[in-house]
Every structure is written in structure tokens, then in C-alpha cells.
Amino acid sequence: MQNNLLAQFEEYLNNNLPTSKSFHPIFEKALQDMLHAGGKRFRPMLLLSVVNSTNPLLLKNSLSIALAIELLHTYSLIHDDLPAMDNADLRRGHPTLHKSFDEVTAILVGDALNTHSFNLIANAPLSSDIKIELIKVLSSDGGIDGMIIGQAIDCYFENTLLELEKLEFLHIHKTAKLIAGSLKMGAIISGLNKKIQDDLYSFGIDIGLLFQIQDDIIDETMSEEEAGKTTSNDEAKNSFVNLLGLSGAIKSADKLALKCENSLKSFDIELQNGLNLILEKYLYRHK
């Protein structure tokens, strides 16, 4: 099922890539560059898996929402890699956008992908009430209540080691909330009750925090070729490896992965099976 869902999403993405519709000589290529570069498509797949497991008749109508999440996530990576932030050279196995083109183009492409994600939701074949709820979630978890404040804290506190509670706050907002929001948005589309929406969101926060710990471990232990992105780039950052040490970060990841496994068992069997197909290869990727 996962391969089929991913194939459907990739086909939809390739047929609905954002375009600039102008005479600009490079902007359209730049606009599509990081989307063509691939990626795990983890966040859109979470949304689609929830819908497919609980209300599969709405799967086709959900593809534009899944694409909206991927566009917003991709914008965040482009901006995260900028010289003013991480100054990274590699992303998704390809040169970062400011390296392939220039910094101004990278900034504007990020801006374009961000705003276009909400255009996709506004024009999705779903009821207006559902679309408003989806916009609320994505604008909160991808905005000042989520990813943006997380990134702001991450940049401001470089070279200042935060205590664990503040480190978790940083990465819950910067990384975990968009993952949690993807699950909740799938539940909203499917018409699941508020308790299930909230349970999926809490589950997503744990998954997102686990992902960040794993990324910190990968940055410490993998080459750029293995990771597909710039590594050994966290010396000044507030990472779990810098705070806990490598062995401590691995222990924390193990503990959180086990918690996520147990939480998954609390959902209905169809939802368990759908999500497990995506999560099984990620829960212990730090090993």
C-alpha cells in the first residue's frame, strides 16, 4: 500500500508542479528544483495514510493537501540551508538552491512555495469548512506557533547550550509540529472525531521529536554522501548529541521509538496498519 500511495503522490506532484508563468529565465526551474530532487515525502505520506486507512474515498481529493504540506516543508528546507542560517551546500543529495542558482532566487523560491501551499488548500476539492480547518493547522504548525519560532530560537541560541526542556521546546516547534499537523490534517479530511485528531497530533509530536534526535545522530555519524545533505554542521547548534552526547542521544531515541510503537497500538487496526507501513523503516533509523 505504501508504494502505491507514494506512486500516486509522486505522479500528482509531477503533474502539478508550481510554475512561474513569466519570462524569467531561471525562476521556474529553480521553483521546481528541490521538488525534483526528491526526499522522503514523509509528511504528505502521513496525511495520505490516515485518509486511506479511514476514508479512502477521499484519497484523490486529499492529494492537493498532501502536496501543500510538501511545498511548505520544502520551503523550510530551502530557507534553513541559506547562508544566513545553516549555510549548507547539500540537500536531498543535490546542491542547495542558493548554490545551484543564487541566494536571492533561493529566498524567493522559498517564499513562493510557502504561499502556494495555501493556494492549493484553498482550491482543493473539499468543503470550505474542512479547508478552513486545514489552513488553521498548517498556518499554525508551519508558522509563528510552530516552525518559525523554532527556527528563530535555533538561530538565536547558536553557541549557547540550552537545557533539555528548552531544547525539546525548540525542536518540537521547529520539526515535530509540522509532522503532527500532517497527521491531524489527514484526520480532519477523513472526518475523524476530535479525540482521534488530538491523539494523532500527540503521537506526531513524539514522532517528530524522535526524527530530530535521529537527525542529530545522523549528522554526527554519517557522511554527506550517506545522509544526502550537509553533515558535521551542528557544532554551534543546540542538538541532542551536543547536549547528551552520542550514546545519550541514542538512548533517548531508543526510548522515544519504543513509546511511539506503544502509542501506535492504541489506534484502530486499520490506522495502525496504514501508519506502520510508513513508520516501520523510520522508528529505528538511528541504529
Structural domain contains residue 287: no
Structural domain contains residue 285: no
pLDDT of residue 105: 98
Mean pLDDT computed over every residue of the chain: 94
Q: Extract the C-alpha cell encoding 142.
A: 508551519
pLDDT (mean) for 114-120 = 98
pLDDT of residue 222: 79
Q: Extract the C-alpha cell encoding 156.
A: 538565536
Examine the pLDDT at 279 and tell me if it is beyond 80. yes
Residue-range definition of the domain harbouring residue 115? 2-279
Examine the pLDDT at 86 and tell me if it is beyond 70. yes
Rounded to whole angstroms, the Cα distance separating 92 from 77 reads 10
Examine the pLDDT at 163 and tell me if it is beyond 90. yes
Examine the pLDDT at 228 and tell me if it is beyond 90. no
pLDDT of residue 54: 97
Q: What's the domain count of the chain?
A: 1
The CATH number of whichever domain residue 234 belongs to comes to: 1.10.600.10
> pLDDT-derived band of residue 21, with 50, 70 and 90 as boundaries?
confident
Structural domain contains residue 118: yes
Q: pTM for the complete prediction? A: 0.95
Structural domain contains residue 269: yes
Higher pLDDT, 232 or 275: 275
Half-sphere exposure of 198 (CA within 13 A, CB side): 3
Examine the pLDDT at 192 and tell me if it is beyond 70. yes
pLDDT of residue 234: 64
Structural domain contains residue 104: yes
Q: List pLDDT tens digits, range 90-102.
A: 999 899 999 999 9
Structural domain contains residue 63: yes
pLDDT (mean) for 198-214 = 97
Size (the chain), residues: 287
> pLDDT-derived band of residue 233, with 50, 70 and 90 as boundaries?
low
pLDDT (mean) for 151-163 = 94
Structural domain contains residue 226: yes
Structural domain contains residue 80: yes
pLDDT of residue 204: 98
pLDDT (mean) for 225-244 = 75
Extract long-range pairs of 198-206: CB within 8 Å, 24+ residues apart: 199/266, 199/267, 200/50, 200/267, 202/263, 203/260, 203/263, 203/264, 204/46, 204/176, 204/179, 204/180, 205/172, 205/176, 205/177, 205/179, 205/180, 206/176, 206/256, 206/259, 206/260, 206/263
Task: Kindly report which listed range (65-69, 141-145, 231-235) carries the lowest average pLDDT score.
Answer: 231-235
pLDDT of residue 264: 96
pLDDT of residue 287: 74
pLDDT of residue 113: 98
Examine the pLDDT at 14 and tell me if it is beyond 80. yes
Q: Extract the C-alpha cell encoding 4.
A: 502505491
pLDDT (mean) for 197-212 = 98
Examine the pLDDT at 286 and tell me if it is beyond 90. no
